[in-house]
Each structure stands twice: as C-alpha cells, then as structure tokens.
Structure 1
Amino acid sequence: MVVAPAATVAFLGPLGTFTYQAARNYFGVHAHYLTQPTIEDVFTAVEKGTSQYGVVPIENSSAGTVGPTLQRLLTSARNFKELPNPIYIRDQAYLPISQCLLSRCSSLSDIRVVYSHAMGFKQCTQWLARTLPQAEHINVSSTARAAELASNQPHTAAIGSAVCAQVFPIQVLSRDIQDANDNVTRFFILSRTPSESTGNDQMYLSFTVNHSQPGSLGKALTEFRQNQLNLSMIDSIPANDRPWHYYFLVESTGHHRDPQAADLLCKLRSICEEVHVFGSYPYRRCKTVESSS
C-alpha cells in the first residue's frame, strides 16, 4: 500500500508498544503517530477522521486472536450503514515478538507483581510459572503501559518490548522469555477507503447462520470450496445480543471486488442471516512488512 509521507496513524499506546513498532516499520519515520489508550480508540480515531490510518493487533502465532479487535470489527460492521465514514481492513503487517521482563528491581526474588497485556501473559506462561511463581499477574491495556507502571513502583515488573527500556526509566532483567521461539504478531492496517485488488489478496468477513437448521454452517463453508477460495482461518465469537448465537469470522483468499469473491458473497447472503465484509488486503504470510516510505 502506498501512503503519503505525512500520513496520520493511530495506534495502541503509549510509545514502546509492539503496535507502535509495527506501525513505524510499516509507515516509516515521517508519519505522524497518534497514541490511543485502547484498541477501541484506534477504531474511533479512524472512523471520525482524526487519523487517516489505524494499526491494531489481530492475532499472535502462539497466543491466538486478539478479542478486543475482533469485537470492535464486528461492532463497526453492524453499524456500517450508520457510520459517516465506515472503516476497512486495508493491509496487514507482521512483527516478530521478543518479550522481555522489565523492572527497577535488581533481583527476580524482589518481584511481587508483574504487569502486562493479556497477550503478553499468554505468550510467557511457562516462563512465569517456572521463574516467578510468587508474583501476582495484573492485566493492563498494553505492554508499554505495563512498563510505565513498573517504572514507578517498587517490587514490580512488566512483560514487554526492550524498546520500553528506552522510553521509561526501567531496565531489562531477562530477554526472550516467550514460550515459543517463533513468536510473531499480525496487525491490521485500518483505513476509511478499501484497497484495490492486486490479484493476490485475502479477505476478512463474518457471517451468522440459523443455528437451529442442521448443516447451516457446513453449507456456508462449502460455498468457499465451490468458488475455489481457500480458507486460511475461521473463528467464532458469541453474539452479545443473542445468547448461544455466534458470529463466524473467516479469512480466505480473494478480493471482495473480484468476480469469484463477489459470487461467493452473493451466495452467502442468500443462505446466511448476516454477512459483513471487513476488507481485503495483499496476501502476506509469516514475514515482516518493510517500511513503505
């Protein structure tokens, strides 16, 4: 994706988060970066036009999908017609993740509390159980926020990036504490304008089916095969307003404006209760994205 040198980019802050690093890698040093306290606020900044682009984490190779991002995508999709500026997933980026233990303490035995984002804890479960079994775990909005808190409190530590030690008065006690060596997080690039087809794309969509009708999910998934579109991911999350009803989130090959994908979407809309397209983006897999500036 080609972007203007002075693009405005909203990201989950504060400075030092992995999302910030992914945004800098993608948009370069000349973009104007807007820190946001939550993933919800990143979406809102793009919807309101405060920022041209947004960067949000969508999944980690070992800890799975990021719930707040999935929930906010669905909220945006369901309010699509009411939004003055609906947003789309326009591209994706990958970032290798090296988790560190950050603290003002000089010894691990002095640590009583560890702060991190929920995904940070998930990625370091074994190391924490083995090395800091005595420590209490407290979830916060981001790994950089965790480092900020730990930099101001005794007997505490944070799980986050080594970059945080350059932003806050805190030191790196241990490096590479993640359980999986190949630890990568994928991020979505959000925009108010959809992408153009490149001929080698992926698309992200959701649908709901009649749960009381046998085979309704299987029938919907069969349409992907019949249109020769390969599924790379399927997930489900509960519908908050309908108990025991689920949204299925699917990633597949194709661009929603290409003939094959357009035919698929037409068929899905005829057999599903709801269908929402979040966007299409160039296919990339398990590699970082070079800066576009």
Structure 2
Amino acid sequence: MAGNIEETLAALRHQIDSIDNEILDLLNRRAQVVIRVGAAKSGQGSDFYVPSREKAIYQRLTAANPGPFPNEGVRRVFREVISACLSLEQPMKVAFLGPPATFTHVAAMQQFGMSAHLVPQKSITAVFDEVIRGRAPYGVVPVENSNEGIVSHTLDMFMESDLQIIAEILLEVSHDLLSRSGRIEDVRKVVSHPQAIAQCRHWLEDNLPDVALVDVASTALAAQMVAEDESAAAIASEMAASLYDLRVVKQKIADNPNNFTRFLVIGKASPPRSGRDKTSVMFSVKDEPGILYRMLEPFSKRRINLSKIESRPLKKKAWEYIFFLDIEGHIAEDHVREAVEELRGYCQFLKVLGSYPSAR
C-alpha cells in the first residue's frame, strides 16, 4: 500500500514539474513580447506604466478564471509577473513615504510589485520633490484613513505642485503588536506612530493598562527601535516583523477591524480611461450667498456622483477655503468635462488633479 502511495505521489509531482516548466516557458515568451512593446513605446515616447492597462488585465483574467486557483491569487501572481516584465522595459523607480516597512511601503509594493525600485523618503514633501525633479517617475503618498480622516499635508502639496494623480491604492491596515520575545508579559512600553496608537487605544487599555505609550515618527521606526529594546513592543505591520526580526505578540489589535488607508500614486501625466475611473479636482470659490449649492449643481443635474468633498483653509487668506472633490468618471467623458467647466465659472481658480482608475 505504501509503495502505491509513493508511486502516485511521484507521478503527481512529475506532472507538477512538467506544468512548472510550461509556466516558465510561457513567462519567458511573455517577457520577449514585453521587450518588443518597450522598444515600440520608446520610439513613440509613450508611458511605460499604464494603470488602466494593468487593471484591464486583472479584470480579464479574474473574469476568465474557472478555479480552483483563487482570484486573489491570480491577481497577486500577475502583479509580480507584470512588475518583472515592466522592469525589462524600463527600471521602475518609485519614491514613497518611508522608512521601509511603513504602510505606504506596503501599498507601493501592492501597486508596483517586488521588481520595482522602491525608494524611501523622509517626508511627503520629499516624495513630491523626487517626482517633480524627475529623479523618480512616480511617488506614493497617503491621503486618507477610514478612521482618522484626511492626510492634510498631501492635499496641501497639490496646491503647490502641478503633479497629477495617476492611480489610487486602497490598503487594509492591520496593526500587530511586535516585540523581540513575542511575550506580552515582557512589554514595559509600546512604541508607534500616534495614529496607530489611537487606532488601538481600547485594546491597549484592556490588555496593557499600565504600560507607557511612546509616540514616534512612523510604525517602521517603532519596529526598528524595538529590535534593540527587549522591554518594548511596537505597533506595526507584518512586514515590519519580518524586516526587523521581531515576533508577533498579538495580531490585529486595532479597535476597528474595518481600517483602510487610501494612497495616491503621483506622476506627471494622468492615464487614459479604464472604464471605471475617478477624477479629482481642487478649487476655491467666490464668497457669496448660495455658492456652495451652485458649486454642486453642475454634478447633480448630470447625475454625477461625488465620492468625496473636503475643504482646507487657504494659508494666505484667513477664513477662505480650498475644496477638493472626487468625481466618479474620467475628465475625457463629455458629461464630466462639461460639469467641471461649469464649476469653473464659479471659481477663483480650479485645477484638475488627475483622472485615474478607481481602486477595487
């Protein structure tokens, strides 16, 4: 009986080896075609990274997938296939708000894959500067959290920059408690970014009520500090545990399990339509009665959904505000373009920040 089982396993493993060889051959055939695509793009001056094209690939493959291989697995596998192939066309350099192992780093990896050259920056301003100066064609910055709200510094940077939004990333944020020993009884202080500590406040009060809470600049820096301090624990990502050789004390300690952060990919030109897009604009309006109603009317009468409205004070004038809108649709669509142009008539200034594929 044991011999029959071994023979069956050997035959199945031989099939797997043969299939793997076929996959390898197909990957290399795909890479050869991608190299030809890169050569054609170079001749035309076209963008190498096209988020709408990637989205179409994922949608086509998941729709055609008969199983049992899961759709999320399909997306992850092809994320890395596309990333590796893009690196054959042109090295993909991406600036992100660092240090490594921050959630922005995780988001950048989710969007660009492991083959991209991801370069950490010390601030949101530095990410914008890298892209403006052409040292990196793309940057990744946080813009809002489902629990804590808007990242105001990112919105402020769009007031000073002509960069465009070319994609958005939605990342489920999972906070883990990490330490060198992995034992909760060894923890004498908890270190993390103040936003992460705030999102885990109830768990900390229930489980570590007498432990000191220490604010630092990022969750990744907290993990780096804890790697050198046996009495401390960090609230950070699973990636941080791997990078800094830490053990998990407790997984998923956030008070609200539905915790998502939205990130923006910034570049110098918006991508073409993908079929399911979002357009972001910023503007200031003349201060007069009924102006808030009139600024929304162009979208209401065309039945255009606004997925976000945000206001920020103008730094140069007291009690005057700049507004940010996220509009469903692409600026190349007639009804979206017409609504934005009608809004422009009420504005002191208006800038389209980009049209880009909506995240899943």
- Is 1:207 the counterpart of 2:283? The answer is yes
By percentage of residues, which structure has more strand? 1
- Is 1:164 the counterpart of 2:240? The answer is yes
- The answer (yes or no) to whether the contact 2:298–2:340 under 8 Å persists in 1 is no
Q: How large is the RMSD of aligned CA atoms in angstroms? A: 2.1
Residues 1-293 of structure 1: pairs in structure 2 closer than 5 A: 1=51, 2=53, 4-5=86-87, 6-76=91-161, 86-104=162-180, 107-108=183-184, 111-153=187-229, 155-211=231-287, 213-284=288-359, 287=360
In the alignment, the residues of structure 1 paired with residue 229 and residue 213 of structure 2 have an alpha-carbon distance, to the nearest angstrom, of 15
In the alignment, the residues of structure 1 paired with residue 254 and residue 113 of structure 2 have an alpha-carbon distance, to the nearest angstrom, of 27
- Residues 207, 134 of structure 1: alpha-carbon distance in 2 compared, 3 angstrom cutoff: farther
Question: What's 2:22 paired with?
Answer: none
The worse-fitting range, judged by mean Cα deviation, of 46-55 and 169-178 is 169-178
In the alignment, the residues of structure 2 paired with residue 38 and residue 225 of structure 1 have an alpha-carbon distance, to the nearest angstrom, of 38
Larger of the two Rg values belongs to structure = 2
In the alignment, the residues of structure 2 paired with residue 137 and residue 237 of structure 1 have an alpha-carbon distance, to the nearest angstrom, of 31
In the alignment, the residues of structure 1 paired with residue 211 and residue 312 of structure 2 have an alpha-carbon distance, to the nearest angstrom, of 31
Question: What's 1:291 paired with?
Answer: none
Percentage of matched positions with identical amino acids: 36
In the alignment, the residues of structure 2 paired with residue 190 and residue 158 of structure 1 have an alpha-carbon distance, to the nearest angstrom, of 30
- After TM superposition, give the deviation of residue 258 of structure 1 in Å: 2.5
CA-to-aligned-CA distance 1:183-237 (integer Å, 9 cap, x gap)? 22221111112111223211111222234x2221121012211232111111122
In the alignment, the residues of structure 2 paired with residue 47 and residue 39 of structure 1 have an alpha-carbon distance, to the nearest angstrom, of 12
- After TM superposition, give the deviation of residue 170 of structure 1 in Å: 2.9
| TM-score computed with the length of structure 2 as normaliser | 0.70
- 1:163 match: secondary structure: helix
- After TM superposition, give the deviation of residue 8 of structure 1 in Å: 0.6
CA-to-aligned-CA distance 1:141-192 (integer Å, 9 cap, x gap)? 3211221122234533221102111111432211100112222222111111
| TM-score computed with the length of structure 1 as normaliser | 0.85
How many residues are matched?
275
In the alignment, the residues of structure 1 paired with residue 319 and residue 185 of structure 2 have an alpha-carbon distance, to the nearest angstrom, of 45
CA-to-aligned-CA distance 1:18-61 (integer Å, 9 cap, x gap)? 21122112111211111112222111111111111111122222
- The answer (yes or no) to whether the contact 2:182–2:246 under 8 Å persists in 1 is no
- Structure 1: gaps spanning 5 or more residues: 77-85, 288-293
In the alignment, the residues of structure 1 paired with residue 284 and residue 222 of structure 2 have an alpha-carbon distance, to the nearest angstrom, of 37
Question: What's 1:290 paired with?
Answer: none
In the alignment, the residues of structure 2 paired with residue 214 and residue 128 of structure 1 have an alpha-carbon distance, to the nearest angstrom, of 48
Answer 1 or 2: higher relative contact order, Cα 8 Å, separation at least 6: 1
